[in-house]
């Protein structure tokens, strides 16, 4: 009778050999099928380093240095706003224009200047606008008390301008009632926007027009410049 | 010659080796990292982010960081589907100074950027006049000169709460962290 130990060893070796063969075939097939891919990477130097932002002076040092606090709280130039008088006593209109390089503006709020209280929002030319504020300060006794009332608008879809140098972006006109003329434009905050892929330029890129010949007038089909200074 | 009948142990050993080899052969580079992403997934994610390089998105990522006064507090990529490879990218900024707003950019992207979707949101970090809310109580954090970080542990908790409130499934697996670069490009970071 043969010894069992060499037989056991032979069976294990056969199994191991088959394992190596199968693994090798599998790996080869993977490579053949293009799955032996390399990682997609980016450079790590120059403009490809992680973004850093210079830290402004703060606290007492900033005050001593006379740093303008408005320069610390950076704001964008995403909208232009104007307040004008409306029809009726204490009725006003707020016009907000999208001047942003971001894209579409969908919702925003307007906080009036200090000392002005908005009592009612009477309408808007786009989206839905309403009077809102921060609640909870009245406790259970006065649950409806709201601080810092402001106008909030949603569903606006204000289109971006073709160039931030041209005021052709989407706009909304909001009618409201306040206890006094706001005067200054207050503060607008964008709460929701849809960035677009296309870069919105900050200057026009139209080519120079040719000079008009003597007696030639500029037309749509053949524009020219008079060249007068 | 009569071969003796193999013992159960040796047969099990051989079968185990065969099974293991079959599993390994099926892998061929398809293993996933600790975040649940395979090399194919990671490459697809980086290529989807690379497709945004020449777009307005790169400009806005730099602009948002400059406005916030800080680099993003979070940048996360989550694999939404593999066919086609679609990723959610979530970038969140905590403002340096109190009167500014929390801002977040939520993107759903693929290698073909034409179908990508983008949403930018913001929320006041403090109330007007430099107050922050602790529950329903207004707490003055400081003057306009002071960083939001001076609000202490409570402010940190609020920062985290707002960050997670708008993240959706951005932090779910499979996914990985990302990084905004000086040129506005996005880099996928390795999972630990």
Shortest CA gap B9–chain A (Å) = 9
Q: Do A51 and B59 touch (CB under 8 A)?
A: no
Candidate ranges B17-26, B98-107, B128-137; pick with highest mean pLDDT? B98-107
- Report whether pLDDT(A210) > 80: yes
Residues 151-170 in B contacting A (C-alpha not used; CB under 8 Å):
none
In whole angstroms, give the CA distance from residue B23 to residue A22. 10
Shortest CA gap B33–chain A (Å) = 13
Shortest CA gap A106–chain B (Å) = 10
Instruction: Give the list of residues 6+ apart from residue A113 with CB closer than 8 angstroms, or none.
Output: A182, A183, A184, A185, A186
Between the alpha carbon of residue A188 and those of residues A17, A75, A110, A152, B73, the distances in Å are 73, 10, 4, 10, 24
Q: A30 to chain B: nearest residue by CA?
A: B28
Residue B153 pLDDT: 79
Residue A34 pLDDT: 47
Residues of B45-69 as b/e, b for ≥16 C-beta within 10 angstroms? bbebbbbbeebbbbbbbbbbbebbb
Give yes or no for A209 touching B (CB within 8 A): no
For A127-165, how does the pLDDT look when each residue is reduced to its tens digit (9 = 90+)?
Answer: 999 998 765 555 555 555 556 678 999 999 999 999 999
- Report whether pLDDT(B154) > 80: no
- Report whether pLDDT(B88) > 80: yes
Element (H, E) at B26: helix B8-27
- Report whether pLDDT(B67) > 90: no
Per-residue pLDDT band at B137 (split at 50, 70, 90): very low
Structural domain boundaries of chain B?
Answer: 39-187
Closest C-alpha to A95, from A161, A171, A169: A171
Please give the share of chain A, as a percent, with pLDDT higher than 70.
68
Give yes or no for B113 touching A (CB within 8 A): yes
Q: Which domains does chain A have, with CATH numbers?
A: 74-195 (2.60.40)
- Report whether pLDDT(A114) > 70: yes
Residue A28 pLDDT: 52
- Report whether pLDDT(A190) > 70: yes
Residues 27-86 in A contacting B (C-alpha not used; CB under 8 Å):
27, 29-31, 33, 35-37, 39-42, 46-53, 55-56, 58-59, 62-63, 67, 69-70, 72-76
Q: Do A40 and B133 touch (CB under 8 A)?
A: no
Mean pLDDT for the stretch of residues B72-76? 95
Mean pLDDT for the stretch of residues A166-178? 94
Residue A18 pLDDT: 65
Whole-prediction pTM = 0.75
What ipTM did this prediction achieve? 0.77
Residue A96 pLDDT: 96
SS3 call for B163? helix
Residue B56 pLDDT: 96
Element (H, E) at B154: helix B152-165
């Amino acid at each position: 009778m043969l010894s069992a130990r060499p037989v056991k060893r032979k069976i294990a070796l056969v199994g191991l050999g088959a394992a190596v063969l199968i693994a090798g075939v599998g790996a080869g097939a993977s490579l053949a099928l293009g799955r032996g891919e390399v990682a997609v990477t980016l450079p790590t130097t120059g403009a490809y380093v992680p973004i850093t932002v210079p830290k402004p002076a703060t606290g007492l040092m900033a005050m001593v240095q006379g740093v303008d606090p408005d320069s610390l709280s950076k704001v964008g130039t995403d909208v232009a706003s104007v307040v004008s008088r409306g029809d009726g006593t204490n009725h006003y209109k707020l016009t907000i224009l999208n001047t942003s390089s971001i894209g579409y503006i969908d919702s925003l709020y307007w906080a009036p200047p200090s000392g002005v209280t908005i009592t009612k929002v009477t309408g808007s030319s786009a989206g839905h606008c309403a009077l809102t504020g921060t609640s909870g300060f009245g406790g259970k006794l006065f649950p409806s008390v709201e601080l810092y009332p402001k106008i909030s608008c949603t569903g606006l879809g204000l289109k971006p301008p073709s160039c931030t140098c041209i005021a052709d972006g989407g706009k909304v006109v909001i009618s409201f009632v306040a206890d006094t003329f706001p005067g200054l434009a207050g503060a607008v905050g964008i709460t929701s926007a849809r960035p677009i892929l296309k870069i919105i330029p900050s200057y026009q890129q139209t080519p120079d027009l040719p000079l008009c010949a003597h007696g030639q007038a500029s037309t749509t089909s053949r524009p020219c410049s008079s060249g007068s200074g | 010659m009569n071969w003796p009948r193999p013992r159960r142990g040796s047969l099990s050993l051989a079968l185990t080796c065969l099974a293991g080899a079959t599993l390994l052969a099926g892998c061929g580079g398809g293993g996933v990292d600790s975040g649940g992403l395979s090399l194919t997934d990671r490459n697809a994610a980086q290529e989807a982010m690379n497709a945004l390089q020449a777009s307005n998105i790169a400009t806005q990522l730099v602009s948002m960081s400059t406005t916030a006064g800080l680099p993003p507090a979070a940048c996360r990529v989550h694999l939404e589907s593999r066919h086609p490879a679609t990723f959610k990218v979530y970038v969140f900024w905590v403002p340096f100074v109190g009167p500014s707003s929390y801002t977040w950019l939520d993107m759903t992207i693929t290698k073909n950027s034409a179908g990508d979707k983008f949403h930018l949101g913001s929320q006041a970090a403090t109330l007007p006049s430099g107050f922050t809310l602790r529950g329903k109580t207004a707490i003055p954090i400081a003057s306009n000169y002071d960083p939001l970080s001076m609000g202490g542990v409570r402010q940190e908790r609020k920062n985290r709460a707002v960050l997670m409130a708008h993240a959706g499934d951005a932090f779910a697996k499979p996914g990985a962290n990302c990084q905004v670069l000086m040129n506005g490009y996005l880099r996928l970071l390795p999972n630990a």
